[in-house]
Amino acid sequence: MAYMNERDAISGKSAKAFIIVGDTREELFYAKSLEATIEKNKVDVPVLGKASTPKRSAGWSGTGTLTIYYVSSKFRSMMQEYMTSGKDFWFDLVVSNEDSNSTAGEQRVVLKECNLDSVIAARFDASSDDMLEEEMPFTFNGYEIQSEFNAI
């Protein structure tokens, strides 16, 4: 029976992420966590003679949440530009997972045409010892796997 070598588990702390806005690339060294999900949109396909209602895939949607430490005005500035001009903004978000202790190697994915749903305009919390952070929900319209993990 085969077992996974515990050294091959990927540490989430070793990830890297950056955004690409136009010709500008910025590392998200202040990011705390990210989760992006692709969900299939399914529709009912009633079939004569079946008591169940089968479903069929009819597209997909991409959503995610980026949590960052509250140390950058980048996304607030982009939102302010949208508020004042009405010109929306999109960016690509590249995520690399690679742990030097693992033989799995690197997986690099690109979430394309990301668009933020909301940002925190201003924030403080004088009663907490925790560092300030913000959670930013977003959608994305494309997905590309640039490199895949090695088989382990």
Which pLDDT score, from 0 to 100, does residue 1 have? 87
Domain 6-147 has CATH 1.10.287.110: no
H or E, element range at 75 = helix 74-85
For the record, the structure tokens of 100 come out as 């030097």
Sign of the dihedral defined by the CA atoms of residues 152, 100, 92, 89, in that order: positive
pLDDT at 123 over 90: yes
* Mean of pLDDT values over 11-29: 94
Q: Are 41 and 56 in contact (CB under 8 A)?
A: no
- In tens, the pLDDT along 29-48 reads 999 999 999 999 999 999 99
Render pLDDT for 128-144 as a digit per residue (tens, 0 to 9).
999 999 999 999 999 99
pLDDT for the residue numbered 29: 93
The pair of structure tokens assigned to 23 is: 């010709």
Burial class (CB within 10 angstroms; exposed 0-12, middle 13-18, buried 19+) of 19: buried
Q: Where are the domains of the chain?
A: 6-147
Dihedral angle computed from the Cα positions of residues 122, 74, 136 and 93, in that order, rounded to the nearest 10 degrees: 180
The C-alpha atoms of residue 70 and residue 144 are separated, in whole angstroms, by 28
Tens of pLDDT along 48-97? Answer: 999 999 999 999 999 999 999 999 999 999 999 999 999 999 999 999 99
Quick check: 125 pLDDT over 90? Answer: yes
